[in-house]
Amino acid sequence: MISHFSLPYPFSDSNVYKYSNNAALLHTKNAIELTDRYLDEISLKRELLTKHPERCYHSSPHTMAAQWEIVDLIINNLVTYYPDKFELEKKDGQWIFSNLLTKETASFKFGDRTTLEIEPLDFIGRHVQEDLILMMQRDGDLILDAGQLCFPANWSLYFNSEMNFKEIHSPIPGFQSDFLVDRILQFLMRIEAGTPWERKNWSLMAGSRLDSSLETFSEWGQARKRVTKENAGELVHFRVEVQKLFRLPKSNGILFTIHSHMLSLEKFIQHTPWLEQFYAILRELPKAIYDYKGISLYREQVLDYLEAELKKR
């Protein structure tokens, strides 16, 4: 049974939500988190990667060294933080990686692409619930040069590939006009090895699909029209992305890991302080932001539902 306790809560003390660099230092320096959904989500990921490689995986040729660095970082995290679930044996440059949950063992020569069937980033991404995005720092800018993305919240890896940070984020309201975009880019380019960061992002989703890519909008977007005050608790899901940011010291790239968590509104609001705060935030949310988050079609219905629930407490 998934309860609200499993959901990372994205809001701070303030009842007014606005875009900011809400990053904080990551104290447990683990890029990866395993939840009780692990096996289900891994198998969904692998199915999507097999059926739709063009929208779930992209890499530029110059990212190979950085991809190996990501393999090194993630395997290290897995065996350090989950030693009962993952094992690594190193023998003369040969790595033997065992995933005890999927009962798989992979043997490869570290740094040698020909010893893996798929690219290193694609390989290691199939063992974690997180989506993995590699931004390379090139000539004073950050470029999305590789990624394995199965669970996008309404965006497209294929469309954003090889864009820079500003181009990727240009649809965000207010992001261009003020200095926020420059400030966040500056922050990202100053991330140092050994000092990873974390931030949380939230949205609402009509339905419960993790794989809500822009390419499949016609399949899941229609549910927005079906939301009513009566079904909102069950149909609408609160979605949180935990994003972790690591500097890769050898390639000087930045690894983003994105773990998407989802919980139905009826479970989310079981915790009254969350209900109260989320109601306040959604009510005050500027139109430009709820338009961007894709909530406009059913915001009123959700507010009605939350208000009715508040009255019951």
Query: Which residues belong to the active site?
Result: 199
Residue reference for tokens 């109601």:
279
Residue 105 phi, psi (nearest 5): -130, 130
Tokens representing 172 are 């965000």
- Selected from 35, 80, 195, 222, the binder of another protein by CB under 8 A is 195
Does residue 251 touch another protein according to CB under 8 A? yes
Task: Provide the CA 277 distance to its chain's centre, in angstroms.
Answer: 23
Does residue 197 touch another protein according to CB under 8 A? yes
Tokens representing 203 are 């949205």
Residue 173 phi, psi (nearest 5): -60, 135
- Residues 19-38, one symbol each (x = binds another protein by CB under 8 A, - = not), give -xxxxxx-------------
Residue type, 12: S
C-alpha distances (whole Å) from 18 to each of 28, 105, 160 are: 27, 45, 24
Does residue 167 touch another protein according to CB under 8 A? no
Task: Write out the binding residues for another protein, residues 99-158 only, by CB under 8 A.
Answer: 136-139
The Cα 187–Cα 25 span in angstroms is 12
Does residue 308 touch another protein according to CB under 8 A? no
- Selected from 69, 119, 215, 309, the binder of another protein by CB under 8 A is 69
Residue from 142, 182, 176, 181 nearest 162 by CA = 142
Residue among 60 and 208 whose Cβ is closer to another protein: 60
- We find the least distance from the C-beta atom of residue 248 to another protein, in angstroms, to be 8
- We find the least distance from the C-beta atom of residue 31 to another protein, in angstroms, to be 15
Does residue 190 touch another protein according to CB under 8 A? yes
- Selected from 249, 284, 288, 300, the binder of another protein by CB under 8 A is 249
Residue type, 123: F
Q: Which residues bind another protein (CB under 8 A)?
A: 14, 20-25, 69, 136-139, 183-184, 186-187, 190, 192-195, 197, 249-252
